[in-house]
Amino acid sequence: MGEAAKRRHGDAAEKLPAEGTQARRFGKTRSAQSTALLEDYVELIADLLMSSGEARPTDIARRLGVSHATAVKTISRLKRAGLATARPYRGAFLTEKGRALADRVRVRHRLVVDLLRALGVPTEAAEADAEGIEHHVSETTLKAFAQYLKSLG
């Protein structure tokens, strides 16, 4: 590759992180995606229980834009993880562990939204973007977000 091409494209070999570092980063992302799904369900179940007193699989499916079968399957995962219980004809309920997770997810979501809004992102975009960011951000980064917002007053 000529010098001009290297300047345009950069030297990829120099920019790649060590294999172990890169593998850890991708592994963290895959793990976060799996966890994000359960967190979204727990957060929604908590919201539905708070607003209407019930969290039926049909309502969960509609609000998350998934099939009824997918919602039922994921609720089963929540039950196996000790985050939820389900009663026939009554829907899903959160265990103490599930409620604690829903609270943590809600706080994390609010923090990410608040940071994005402080940066000038419109509310609707901040809410939508936070849905992805909130699941992939480390505790270290969340603490930095909180410290930054605190410094703004």
CATH of the domain at 68: 1.10.10.10
φ/ψ bin of 65: left (φ > 0), alpha (ψ from -120 to 50), beta (otherwise):
left
Distance CA(111)–CA(116), nearest Å, equals 9
Report percent pLDDT > 90 for the chain.
Answer: 67
Q: What pLDDT is stored for residue 94 in this prediction?
A: 97
- Residue 8 covered by a domain: no
- Residue 122 covered by a domain: yes
Number of domains comprising the chain? 1
The pLDDT of 4-25, averaged and rounded, is 66
Which tens digit of pLDDT belongs to each residue from 44-101?
A: 999 999 999 999 999 999 999 999 999 999 999 999 999 999 888 889 999 999 999 9
What is each CA distance from 87 to 15, 37, 55, 81, in whole angstroms? 53, 21, 11, 16
Q: What pLDDT is stored for residue 102 in this prediction?
A: 96
Domain containing 42: what range?
19-152
- Residue 50 covered by a domain: yes
Q: What pLDDT is stored for residue 91 in this prediction?
A: 92
- Residue 37 covered by a domain: yes
- Residue 6 covered by a domain: no
Q: What pLDDT is stored for residue 31 in this prediction?
A: 57
Q: What pLDDT is stored for residue 21 in this prediction?
A: 73
- Residue 11 covered by a domain: no
Distance CA(135)–CA(34), nearest Å, equals 10
Q: What pLDDT is stored for residue 80 in this prediction?
A: 96
**Nearest-5° angle of CA 139, CA 144, CA 147?**
125
Q: Is the pLDDT of residue 5 over 60?
A: no
